[in-house]
A and B are shown apart, each in its own frame.
Chain A
Amino acid sequence: MTIEPTVPFETVTTYEGTDAFFALHGRVENMAAFELGASLDAVIDRHPRSIELDLTHLDFMGPTGFVALANAEKRLTEMGTKLTVRSPSELVNRLLSIMEVAEVSRLIGQALSDSGRLVAEQLGEMPALSLRGVQVDPTDEFRKVTAIPADPDVVDGALRLVVELARALVEGADGVSVSLRRHGRLSTVAASDQVVMKMDADQYATGEGPCVDASIKGHWFHAQSLDTETRWPVFTPQARGLGIKAILSSPLMAFEEPVGALNIYSRQAAAFDAKAQAAAAVFAKKASVILSDAGAGASDTQMAFRFQEALQSRTVIAIATGVIMEREGVEKDEAFADLLRLSLYHGEPLRRQAEAMVRSSRQPEQGPASGLDD
């Protein structure tokens, strides 16, 4: 590692009545992030009615800078103060939108809701910190929402960001890592420190542990206390030897297949309560979306299989739609709507409903498998 030359970083705060304007210049990384956090705290302490954060002149922001922003946003949300972000650079904007920093901190601050609708409402009220709230012209928006390119630097950077944010925001987390299966072998692609790296490596070497199991089985593994843990007899003593007492591994999914795990380690037994588990789930989901967008994990054969499945489903739905068009004398979209209503009525996936419809059309004497009564 070379030591980077000192790049000036400064913040400029101005007030207009009770509205604060906070501008960042230069690069926010390492020490500058602490300075940023302290400066933001100082502004927040004056209880402004709103804060506008101007990132127009920002050259770079590292993970620690995002953590400072996320913390500030959390405080502001608690105080009911409005935060808006002005014209972030393309890269900053993209990372903010990948992470939905505001959403993450908000979800952690509240009990997680199972209802998609409720979460959608929360998203609707999100301050303009993320892409969703930033008002730009549609063509610009269009360009920015394209999937993250499968550029390993961007993906690894985004995963490192997930690790930093999870360590800062999941209560009880002393270390966090992301393991990924690449070419059939697990490896650590992002880790908060050396102990965590070692923890992961020990699991790969012994072939056991919550990280290995979560990566293969695709569900959660939570070791509440390694003092009483019995599932991983070889790995557990090694972890205890490094002072780790609790581990929470959440699977990372890409194209609905487990491809790795988000691992959170603690030096305290029973460190991860329900809130911490919910927060871990949010971060695992974020990392999964990043990986899926990058096409990680899915091999060509897996993709080809999925695509073939999708084509078969499409075909059977098209045939079923044709059957309804003929039977009911309706147009294609109306026939599809009929099929969809049937699927909802019977609580069957659309594809199953379509298969039933196609079967029924082959046996006209038995009538339709499920009636189009209306």
Chain B
Amino acid sequence: MIEPALDVLDAFRQEAGLSHGELWLRYFELGGMSTGFELEALLLGVLAPSDHDHDVIAHALNERFVELGGNHPVPYSRALNAS
């Protein structure tokens, strides 16, 4: 599980200037399986994402930040960093 407050993901979404719908499409594009409704719950920490789901969301956001000229500000899960 990811340690910091889970709604940090939604704060990143807002900073990236993506609506929930746009982020869902990007998440879906990367293979995400949750519905838009579930995704919102994951973003706000109402549902806890699996490491895999967290990484898909984080990457969808990070690819957006890269397009905007940024780096990869959204941290990935510990599982991804582990190996």
Binding site for B on A (CB under 8 A): 100, 103, 114-117, 119-120, 123-124, 132, 138, 141-142, 145-147, 253-256, 285, 288-289, 292-293, 295, 306-307, 309-310, 313-314, 317-318, 321, 333, 336-337, 340-341, 343-344, 349-351, 374
Q: Mark B17-29, 1 if CB is under 8 A from A, else 0.
A: 1111110011011
Beta-carbon contact of B21 and A293 below 8 Å: yes
Beta-carbon contact of A309 and B29 below 8 Å: yes
A119 to B29: give the CA distance in the assembly, Å.
26
Q: Give the residues in chain B near A314, CB-CB below 8 Å.
A: 28-31
- The 12 listed contacts between A and B (C-beta, < 8 Å) are A103-B14, A115-B73, A119-B11, A120-B11, A124-B5, A132-B10, A142-B41, A293-B20, A310-B25, A314-B29, A337-B55, A350-B59
Interface of B is mostly: helix
> Would you give the shortest CB distance from B69 to chain A, in whole angstroms?
8
Beta-carbon contact of A340 and B80 below 8 Å: yes
Interface of A is mostly: helix
Beta-carbon contact of A349 and B15 below 8 Å: no
Binding site for A on B (CB under 8 A): 5, 7-8, 10-12, 14-22, 25-26, 28-31, 36-37, 40-41, 44, 46, 50-52, 55-56, 59, 63, 65-66, 70, 72-74, 76, 79-80, 83
A285 to B17: give the CA distance in the assembly, Å.
6
> Would you give the shortest CB distance from A42 to chain B, in whole angstroms?
33
Closest A-chain residue to B43, C-beta based? Answer: A145
Beta-carbon contact of B15 and A119 below 8 Å: yes
